[in-house]
C-alpha cells in the first residue's frame, strides 16, 4: 500500500511532515509522496528523516493552475526522482508571491462583508502557507459560519461572495515546467475538471505535446466508473497511473492516509515502480517519451 498524494502543514494539511511520516510507517504504508500545494518545503523537512530511517519518500508537489478549456482552476501533481533544481524552485517562489497577494485581497474582501479576521489570526493557523482552508477554519471558530463547507459555499468558492481570483500559471505552462525539471506531471483528480469522460479524453490528448505523462486514476472522490474511465484514458495514451488519498489531516477528517474515504482506495507498489521506470527512461535517453507523445497524439483519435 502506497500514497502518492497528501498534504502537510507546510500547505493546508494539519500534520507536521514528521508526524505524517510516522503515521505512514504505523499504517504500514510502503512509500509516500508529499504533495503540498505549490511548495516543496514539507517534503524538504521530511526528507532527512526519511533518509535516516530508510522510508521511501518521493518528492512531489500539487500545482494550482488555470485550465483554459474549462475556464477553471485545475490541479497538477508533479513527481521528481531527485531534486527538481533551482529553476523550478524559484518558479515556486513566484507562485507563493501570487498567493500572498490573493490572501491580502481576500482578507480585504471579507472585511467589506463584515467578516473580521486579522492577519495575525491567519498566520497563527496557517503557519507556513495560508490557503482558503485556513480562512474557513477561522470563520468557523469565530462563529461566522457553522462548518468549513459553509465557508466555502457562501464565501470562498469560485461563485462565493468573497471570491478573489488568483493569478495562476496555465496548465500547459505548469506541465512544461515539470517536464523541463525532469519530473512527471500527472493530472490530479481529473473528474473535478469534468465528469464528461469525452471532455477529459480530449483535454488529455491536448496536453500530451506539452509533456503530460500521467493521470491520477485513484482518488477518494472518484467513483468506480470514474476510475475506470481514467484508467482507459491512461492506457490509450500510454500514460502512467497515479493515485493517493489527498490526505489533509484534521482539515478533511473523513479522509484517511493511504485508504481514503471508508477505505475506498488502495494503491499498490507497482504504480510507483512504473513511475520509477519512466524516470529511468527519461534519464537514459534525451527525451524518448516526448517523441512517443508526438506519435501517440497522431495515432489516438479522441
Contacts with ligand AMP, residue ranges (CB under 6 A): 12, 37, 64, 131-133, 148-149, 152, 157, 248
Instruction: State how far the alpha carbon of 276 is from the alpha carbons of 31, 189, 248, in Å.
Output: 12, 21, 25
Taking CB under 5 A as the rule, does residue 246 contact Mn ion? yes
Q: Left, alpha or beta for 181 (phi > 0: left; psi -120 to 50: alpha)?
A: alpha
Within 13 Å, how many C-alpha atoms sit on residue 111's CB side?
9
DSSP string, 156-173: ISTTSTT-------BHHH
Tell me how far, at minimum, the Cβ of 249 lies from ligand AMP, in Å.
Answer: 11
Between 2 and 188, CB nearer to Mn ion:
188
Between 6 and 239, CB nearer to Mn ion:
6
Q: Which of 3, 12, 168, 216 binds Mn ion (CB under 5 A)?
A: 12
Between 168 and 282, CB nearer to ligand AMP:
168
Tell me how far, at minimum, the Cβ of 151 lies from Mn ion, in Å.
Answer: 14
Report CA torsion sign: 130, 131, 133, 137. Answer: positive
Q: Interface residues for Mn ion in 162-191 (CB under 5 A)?
A: 188
Residue 216 to residue 189: CA distance in whole angstroms: 6
157 binds, options Mn ion, ligand AMP, none, Cβ within 5 to 8 A by partner type: ligand AMP
A 10 A CB-CB count for 255 gives 20
Q: Interface residues for Mn ion in 54-73 (CB under 5 A)?
A: 62
Q: Which of 23, 66, 75, 278 binds Mn ion (CB under 5 A)?
A: 75
Within 13 Å, how many C-alpha atoms sit on residue 5's CB side?
31
Tell me how far, at minimum, the Cβ of 30 lies from ligand AMP, in Å.
Answer: 25
Taking CB under 5 A as the rule, does residue 134 contact Mn ion? no
Positions that interact with Mn ion (CB under 5 A): 12, 62, 75, 188, 246
Amino acid at each position: 500500500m502506497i500514497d502518492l498524494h497528501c498534504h502537510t502543514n507546510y500547505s493546508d494539511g494539519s500534520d507536521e511532515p514528521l508526524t505524517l511520516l510516522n503515521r505512514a510507517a504505523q499504517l504500514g504504508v510502503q512509500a509516500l509522496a508529499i504533495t503540498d500545494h505549490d511548495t516543496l518545503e514539507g517534503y524538504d523537512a521530511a526528507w532527512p528523516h526519511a533518509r535516516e530511517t530508510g522510508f521511501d519518500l518521493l518528492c512531489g508537489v500539487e500545482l494550482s493552475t488555470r485550465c483554459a478549456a474549462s475556464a477553471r482552476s485545475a490541479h497538477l501533481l508533479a513527481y521528481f526522482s531527485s531534486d527538481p533544481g533551482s529553476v523550478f524552485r524559484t518558479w515556486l517562489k513566484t507562485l507563493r508571491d501570487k498567493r500572498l497577494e490573493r490572501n491580502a485581497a481576500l482578507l480585504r474582501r471579507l472585511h467589506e462583508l463584515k467578516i473580521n479576521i486579522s492577519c495575525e489570526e491567519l498566520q497563527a493557523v496557517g503557519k507556513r502557507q495560508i490557503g482558503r482552508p485556513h480562512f474557513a477554519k477561522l470563520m468557523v471558530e469565530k462563529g461566522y459560519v457553522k462548518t468549513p463547507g459553509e465557508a466555502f459555499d457562501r464565501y470562498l468558492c469560485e461563485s462565493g461572495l468573497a471570491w478573489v481570483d488568483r493569478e495562476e500559471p496555465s496548465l500547459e505552462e505548469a506541465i512544461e515546467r515539470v517536464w523541463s525539471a525532469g519530473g512527471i506531471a500527472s493530472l490530479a483528480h481529473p473528474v473535478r475538471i469534468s465528469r464528461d469522460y469525452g471532455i477529459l479524453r480530449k483535454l488529455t490528448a491536448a496536453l500530451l505535446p506539452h509533456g503530460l505523462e500521467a493521470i491520477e486514476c485513484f482518488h477518494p472522490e472518484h467513483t468506480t466508473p470514474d476510475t475506470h474511465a481514467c484508467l482507459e484514458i491512461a492506457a490509450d495514451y500510454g500514460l502512467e497511473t497515479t493515485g493517493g488519498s489527498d490526505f489533509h489531516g484534521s482539515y478533511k477528517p473523513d479522509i484517511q492516509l493511504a485508504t481514503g474515504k471508508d477505505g475506498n482506495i488502495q494503491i499498490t507498489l507497482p504504480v510507483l515502480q512504473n513511475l520509477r521506470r519512466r524516470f529511468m527512461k527519461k534519464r537514459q535517453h534525451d527525451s524518448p517519451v516526448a517523441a512517443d507523445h508526438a506519435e501517440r497524439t497522431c495515432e489516438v483519435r479522441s
